[in-house]
């Protein structure tokens, strides 16, 4: 097998580790190529979570339209926890948020202001599990939402979102399982991928997006 050219890529070390540790993952990497995972550093932790709440259970275009109307409530800058805490719930509802989502973003603002949801240097110093435990205290936010924050906003490299359908589907395809894998199966296999399980997850998402991959049988 010829390894993909990973020189000068941000995740070269991760890709090399995955290639060496897992033959099926190596075959997937050979087909997909270098990891191009992009981090979203442009948003605050608060706004990243607000955006996640808005997007829950909605098509991308519909969610983007609603988020745009929420943003229009605060001209000139992205919403801050102080602004969301002060805005009447009825204005959030008028922007298109359901009652539950309006209450969720209000709770997010309150828990950001009281320090439950960490930010800045505080969150940088916390472990993944510590962050998850704190942020899931917010109404409407579960473990999966925080795992996406860890991967795509904070750049944490060893997150394996075992509840994510795309990750599970990609796992099923590359290991040729008759059914979606259990959490235990994924966690056991994922031990080989440490400390780069976020990068492995990115490749599993790519596998889920494509037709059934034609992978070589391992020797």
- pLDDT < 50 stretches in the chain: 1-7, 213-215, 217-219
pLDDT of residue 219: 41
Determine the topology of domain 45-152 in CATH.
Endonuclease III; domain 1 (1.10.340)
Distant-in-sequence, close-in-space partners of 115: CB < 8 Å, separation ≥ 6: none
179 is catalytic: no
| Residue (of 158, 148, 165) closest to 199 by Cα position | 158
Q: Are 1 and 30 in contact (CB under 8 A)?
A: yes
Q: Which pLDDT tens digit goes with each residue over 180-189? A: 999 999 999 9
pLDDT of residue 191: 97
Query: Which of these is catalytic: 107, 119, 164, 179?
Result: 164
| Residue (of 213, 206, 186) closest to 197 by Cα position | 186
* Domain residue ranges of the chain, discontinuous segments joined by +: 12-38+160-209, 45-152
Best CATH choice for the domain 12-38+160-209 from the list 1.10.10.10, 1.10.1670.40, 2.60.40.420, 3.40.50.12140: 1.10.1670.40
Q: How far apart are CA 54 and CA 196, in angstroms?
A: 29
**pTM summary value:** 0.84
């Amino acid at each position: 097998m010829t390894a993909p050219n990973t020189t000068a890529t941000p995740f070269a070390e991760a890709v090399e580790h995955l290639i060496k540790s897992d033959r099926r993952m190596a075959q997937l990497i050979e087909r997909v190529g270098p990891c191009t995972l992009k981090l979203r550093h442009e948003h605050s932790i608060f706004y990243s979570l607000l955006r996640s709440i808005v997007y829950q259970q909605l098509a991308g275009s519909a969610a983007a339209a609603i988020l745009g109307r929420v943003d229009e409530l605060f001209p000139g800058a992205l919403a801050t926890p102080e602004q969301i805490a002060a805005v009447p719930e009825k204005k959030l509802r008028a922007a298109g948020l359901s009652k539950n989502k309006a209450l969720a973003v209000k709770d997010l603002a309150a828990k950001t202001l009281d320090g439950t949801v960490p930010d800045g240097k505080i969150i940088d110093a916390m472990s993944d599990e510590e962050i998850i435990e704190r942020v899931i205290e917010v109404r409407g936010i579960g473990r999966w939402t925080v795992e996406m924050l860890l991967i795509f906003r904070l750049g944490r490299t060893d997150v394996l979102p075992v509840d994510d359908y795309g990750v599970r589907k990609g796992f099923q395809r590359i290991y040729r399982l008759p059914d979606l894998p259990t959490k235990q199966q994924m966690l056991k296999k994922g031990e080989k991928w440490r400390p780069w399980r976020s990068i492995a997850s990115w490749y599993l998402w790519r596998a889920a997006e494509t037709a059934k991959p034609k992978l070589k049988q391992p020797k």
